[in-house]
Each structure stands twice: as C-alpha cells, then as structure tokens.
Amino acid sequence: MEVFKADVAIVGGGGAGLRAAIAVAESDPTLKIALVSKVYPMRSHTVSAEGGSAGVKKEGDSLEYHFNDTVGGGDWLCEQDVVEFFVSKCAEELTQLEHWGCPWSRTEDGHVNVRAFGGMKIERTWFAADKTGFHMLHTLFQTSIKYPSIKRFDEHFCVDLVKEDGRCQGVVAIEMASGEFTLIEAGSVIIATGGAGRVFRENTNGGVVTGDGMALAYRHGVPLRDMEFVQYHPTCMPGTGLLFTEACRGEGGFLVNKDGYRYLQDYGLGPAEPTPRNKAMELGPRDRLSQAFWHEQQKGRTIEGRYGPVVHLDLRHLGATKLHERLPQICELAEQFLGVDPALAPIPIRPAVHYTMGGIMVNGLCASPLPGLYAVGECSSVGIHGANRLGSNSLSELLVFGKVAGVEAAGFAKSVAPGNSASLLKQAKAVEQRVTGLKTKTGGTEKISVLRKEMAQTMEDGCGIYRLADTMQKTCNKLDELKARFKNVNLEDGSSVWNTDWLLAIELEYQLDVAQTMAYSALQRRESRGAHQRLDGYEQRDDVNFLKHSEANYVADGAPRISYGDVKITKSQPGVRAYGAAGEKAEKERKASHV
C-alpha cells in the first residue's frame, strides 16, 4: 500500500476543502497538505451554486441585520456566538476571493455589486452572473495551484479514517483509476465532503453529494447534529430536480398557481407588490415557500405536469434583455431541458431537496469532539444555519470556516507528535481487506441501484416538506430493512480500474447511515421548526422542549441513538418568524420594546 505522510489531510476539494487547504498553506508553508477528492476539485458540487454569497457590503446594511436575518431565518436554532463571528468575516473573505481573481459582477464604477436574496433584509449577496459557485470554485482551485505544499489526490475516494491514541491520524483512500489503496497519515484531518441531498429522490444535488464524510465521522463516534433539517428549495425543475436559482426571484420573478395568482400572499408573506421587496412574497425564506406549495397542492390549485403537480415561475415581465444579462444560465436550462423560453412562457417548477442544514458536530473552530478531526462546509454543523439555512449563507460559510478549519487544523498538527506508522498501516490494511471484500464476496442477491431507489423513495415519503409520525416511522423501519439487505448486496463488477459499481456501493452504505440519522432525528423532534414541519399535533414550535440541537450517535448494527444538546443564545431571544408586512410590523415592535 502506498503511504503518504502529510501534516494536514483534507477530504473534499469543494469550496470548503480548497479554502481550508489554502489557509493551511498560508499559515505555514512548511506544512505538507494532502487534498483528497473523489472528483477533480473543480467538479465538486460547489460548482453548481448559482445565486451568490452573502456579506455585508451596502451602505445602510449592518452586521446586526445579517445576524438577525440568519438567526431568525434559522428559527433560533443557531449558535449565536458562531453566527456573530461568521457575519463579521463574510465581507473580508469575499474580498479575499476578489483579490484571488473571482469575477464578481460589478457596478458601473467598478465596485462589487450585490443583489437581493430570500430572507435577507438588505441586498448583500455578492454574485458572479448566475454562476457564483462555479466562479468561486474555479478561483479557489486555480489559486490553490499556486501553493506547492498542497499535494492533491484527485479522484481518490476516501473509505475510512484511522484513529490512534484517541485522535484522528489519517485517512485511507482508493485511487479510482487503479483501485489501489493509499494511506495518508496526518497530524490532523479536515472533512469537507459536502452535503447528502442525494439520499432523497428529487434533489438539486450532483451525483457526488452522498454524505460520505458525515458517515465516516459518525461511524467513528462523532455525532451528526440537527440532521432532521433538510431544506427544500421551492423552485426546481420537475423530474430532474435541477435548480432555478433564487436570483430569479431576487430579480423580480413571480410564483403563480394555476389561476395565475401570486399565492404566497395567502401564506403571511404579502402584500403582493409588482417589484421585489426583501423578506416578502417571493423573497420569503425557502421553507415557507416550499410549504406554501404543499398547501396549494392540497387546495387543488397547482398544475398537473408530467412529473406531478407544479406551479409557475413567471419571469416574462423582466424582458428578454434583462433575462439574458442577469440570468443566462436559467434561460439555458429552461430552454434545453423544458423547451421553455422564460421570456415568452412561465417555467413549471416544484420544490426539491437542496441542502442539509445538519452535519458533523463541530464547535465554532470547526473542531469535532474527536481530537484531530475537523469538519467544514455542508457536511459540518458549525451552527450557523439552525433549522433553515438562508440562501447565500452557505457559500460564505465555505470561505469563512474553511479558513478557520485550515488554521485550526494546522495548529493542531503542529502540536502533536508523529503517529505510530506501523500501527496505522496495520489499520489501513484491515480497511483495505474489509472494503475489498465488498466486491470480491459472492452469493449476494441485492442490486445497489434497487436499494438506492428504495432509500430515496422512502426518504421522500417520510421526511418531506411536511412530516407525520407514522410515515416517519415507516421510513425508519424501511431504512433498517435496507441496511440489512445491503449486507446481501451483489456487485456486477469485480475489476480494479475505475470500478464505479464498487464505489457506488460504498457510497450507498454511507447514504443509508446518513438517511437513518435524518429519519430518526426527525421522528423524535416533536415540534415544527424551520424546515422540519409536522402535521400530527406538533404544528407549533416548542421552545420549552426542543430549543435543542439533536445529536445522532452511531450504534453499531442498530438505529442511531438521539440525544440533545443546548443551543447558544446570546443577543437574540427566540421570537416569531414573520415575513412580509407582518414581519416588518413585528420588527418595529421588537425595536420599540428594546428602547
């Protein structure tokens, strides 16, 4: 087995992993960095983020506003001290990216431009046309090339962590091109493997978003926090789940039902005005918008499409010129996949799974309870998204906490003595044997594609926009069953070179673990908060019992054990989450009561 000795190993070459790698390299150029990614970094799913990245920029905006939007948007399940740190660093990090070459869209006088985004009081979303994630990722990737201390392991698939003396000391990865194993020894490890949206059927996520890192940490005893909070994005393509960015609404798009009626005004988001107003109507938060869709469907006011009910995203009034200038990628998507020209016809849309708010439990410095193990990005739960993430906060999270994770992991790596290589190698060989067993064993009868489909369907059924105890219970049972059936899986491919059948099986096993944490955490949260909404007697938020983070703990060969942890409240006491005119009124009242 190949062995590489690094100071810091980073699993994940998306926005978070790359930012962390650069931070390590800049903090100490003598540290050796191993950057492991199962796809070439620029293929990571950060690439598909369209809308933008939040950071206070405009006159009249303030850190306090950004803080309030984030904490309120997260239904007060945020770590407020972490949010405070986060909002204070966003603009600086986005400026850093500008210095590295990110082609931010500009105002006429050459400054970076900002746009409106859902749930944000003031325009503070930095954007690069409608390819923000693409430009951020490519900028980070290309900048990372500048640092000789970053050794990339592209298309290396991480299959396990190695632990010794109670701390994480490296990772084991498969070189996909050869099927051979590599042990990367490291003083500290950062997991930046992204979200897990593909455990659901209809989702906006790329094929690689399978929760690998979450499952890895979880299996090594690190809790997954707040996993029941899964964000549905309200404007997705029926069938494929592909996303039409929130910027469509930021630019002034309307959501209308089958009668051409802007139905959001019926759900406390009004009044309906012709131009976008922040935190109202179409610019309300995602959970509310997705929920409104569900209600419209119950009322029979949605439109029947080929893939089930849809509503319309109407952009026609923006005009062809503006559409092509500000939303070129949206126009392209609609035309190619749906045959719809947004300038001439409304786009059929529906909600789809988009983002996992929860993840690997870490403190504000990205450190997990397992010494030497850090996590950052969508796979982590650093505490800024609470029960519902605001669009454009997560790209900023990658930068702000990517840097933190890098600096912290570098510091940790320097503070520890080198590990016992012989013992680590022995562990890695055991991992190799176990993982290879999956493809060499015979006599299985289950097909991974079948198991994967059943998993995605049951997650959709039980953990959708609205949830009920009995369907969630069914989902939990089904997942238990699928895990049992996975043991009997049969691979069609026993080869070594680019054996994707094998890798998909490993991913499926990760996904099943992550899905379980979501379903079990959801079942046990008997309240409605943010993205977790119940219709079985727990329709209200319950701050007495559930102003708590859920923590899913791994139990070998069993269901996860769910425990609860405190939420850090500093300046913002839980209040009513109100938007539109009601929200403005509520805010005035809050202000008045403060003086």
Ligand X SMILES: Cc1cc2nc3c(=O)[nH]c(=O)nc-3n(C[C@H](O)[C@H](O)[C@H](O)COP(=O)(O)OP(=O)(O)OC[C@H]3O[C@@H](n4cnc5c(N)ncnc54)[C@H](O)[C@@H]3O)c2cc1C
Residues near ligand X (CB under 6 A), total: 47
**CA–CA separation, 386 vs 392, rounded Å?**
15
Give the nearer residue to ligand X in terms of CB position, either 159 or 281.
159
Does 193 interact with ligand X (rule: CB under 6 A)? yes
- Footprint of other proteins on residues 162-181 (CB under 8 A)? 177-180
Cα–Cα separations (whole angstroms), residue 48 to 14, 52, 97, 144, 321: 11, 11, 18, 19, 23
Provide the annotated binding site for FAD.
12-17, 37-52, 212, 378, 394-395
Residue 12: contacted member of ligand X, other proteins, none (CB under 5 to 8 Å, by partner type) = ligand X
Region label for 281, one of left (φ > 0), alpha (ψ between -120 and 50) or beta (otherwise): left
Of the two residues 205 and 471, which places its CB atom closer to ligand X in the complex?
205
Stretch that binds ligand X, among 76-84, 208-216, 478-486, 571-579 (CB under 6 A): 208-216
Residues 6+ apart with CB under 8 A from 52: 114, 115, 117, 125, 126, 127, 128, 132, 247, 392, 395
Strand partners, 183: 3, 172
Chosen residue from 134, 157, 200, 267 binding other proteins by CB under 8 A: 134
Print the binding letters for residues 21-60 with ligand X: x by CB under 6 A, - otherwise: ---------------xxxx-x--xxx-xxxxxx-------
Nearer CB in complex with ligand X: 355/538: 355
Exposure string (b/e) for 477-493, b if CB count within 10 Å is 16 or more? Answer: ebbbebbebbeebebee
Among other proteins, ligand X, none, the one that 377 touches (CB under a kind-dependent 5 to 8 A) is ligand X
The crossing angle, in degrees rounded to 10, of helices 212-219 and 500-524 is: 70
The answer to whether 465 and 294 are in contact (CB under 8 A) is yes
Closest approach of other proteins to the CB of residue 144, in Å: 9
> Quick check: 39 binds other proteins (CB under 8 A)?
yes
Does 133 help bind ligand X (rule: CB under 6 A)? yes
**Binding site residues for substrate, as ranges?**
233, 245, 354, 389
- x-marked contacts with other proteins along 459-498 as a string, rule CB under 8 A: --------------------------------xxx-xxxx
- Count the residues in the chain: 595
For the beta carbon of residue 594, count every other beta carbon within 10 angstroms: 6
Here the tokens at position 465 are 């926009």
Task: Determine which residue in the list 144, 169, 394, 427 makes contact with ligand X, applying CB under 6 A.
Answer: 394
- Distance of CA 586 to CAs 22, 281, 285, 385, 578, Å? 43, 16, 16, 22, 7
Neighbours of 449 (CB within 10 A): 12
Count residues contacting other proteins (CB under 8 A)?
Answer: 66
Q: What share of residues in the chain are helix, strand, coil (percent, to 5)? A: 40, 20, 40
> Could you say whether residue 29 binds other proteins (CB under 8 A)?
no
* Given 124, 249, 286, 534, the catalytic residue: 286
Residues 5 and 28: their CA atoms lie apart, in Å, by: 16
Total Cβ atoms within 10 A of residue 168: 28
Q: Are 572 and 80 in contact (CB under 8 A)?
A: yes
* 333: partner contacted, choices other proteins, ligand X, none (Cβ within 5-8 A by kind): other proteins
Copy the structure tokens of residue 502.
Answer: 């094998």
Find out whether 241 and 352 touch, Cβ atoms under 8 Å: yes
CB of 64 to other proteins, least distance (A): 21
Minimum separation from the CB atom of position 321 to ligand X (A): 23
Interface with other proteins, residue 125, by CB under 8 A:
no
What radius of gyration do the chain's Cα atoms show?
23
Does position 155 interact with ligand X (CB under 6 A)? The reply is no
Nearest to 196 by CA among 229, 162, 244: 229
Of the residues 157, 181, 486, 520, which one makes contact with ligand X according to CB under 6 A:
157
CA–CA dist 350, 241 (Å, integer): 8
* The two structure tokens encoding residue 309: 């009910």
Q: Note whether 377 binds ligand X by CB under 6 A.
A: yes
C-alpha distances out from residue 505 to 220, 379, 494, Å: 20, 20, 12
DSSP string, 522-559: HHH--S-BTTBEE-SS--S--HHHHSEEEEEE--TTSP
143's contact among other proteins, ligand X, none, with CB below 5 to 8 A by partner kind, is other proteins
Cβ-contact 232, 287 below 8 angstroms: yes
User: Catalytic: 525?
Assistant: no
Q: Which of the residues 206 through 265 are near other proteins (CB under 8 A)? A: 206-208, 239-240, 242-243
Q: Minimal distance in Å, beta carbon 271 to ligand X?
A: 27
Binding of other proteins by 449 (CB under 8 A): yes
Binding-site residues sit at: 12-17, 37-52, 212, 233, 245, 354, 378, 389, 394-395
Kindly state the smallest distance separating residue 438's Cβ from other proteins, in Å: 13
Q: Which does 132 bind (CB under 5 to 8 A by kind): ligand X, other proteins, none?
A: ligand X
Residue 16 binding result from ligand X, other proteins, none, given CB thresholds of 5 to 8 Å by partner type: ligand X
Judge whether 518 and 524 are in contact, CB under 8 Å: no
Asked if 384 interacts with ligand X (CB under 6 A), we say no
Interaction between residue 540 and other proteins (CB under 8 A): no
Pick one of other proteins, ligand X, none as the site partner of residue 110 (Cβ within 5 to 8 A by kind). other proteins
User: What CA–CA distance (Å, rounded) separates 168 from 524?
Assistant: 31
285 near ligand X (CB under 6 A): no
Q: Which residues make up the interface to ligand X (CB under 6 A)?
A: 11-17, 36-39, 41, 44-46, 48-53, 132-133, 157-158, 192-195, 204-205, 208-209, 212-213, 243, 354-355, 377-379, 391-395, 398
Site residues for other proteins per CB under 8 A: 39-40, 42-45, 47-48, 92, 95-96, 98-101, 103-112, 129, 131, 134-135, 138, 142-143, 145-146, 154, 177-180, 206-208, 239-240, 242-243, 306, 329, 332-333, 336-338, 447-449, 491-493, 495-501
Catalytic positions are 286
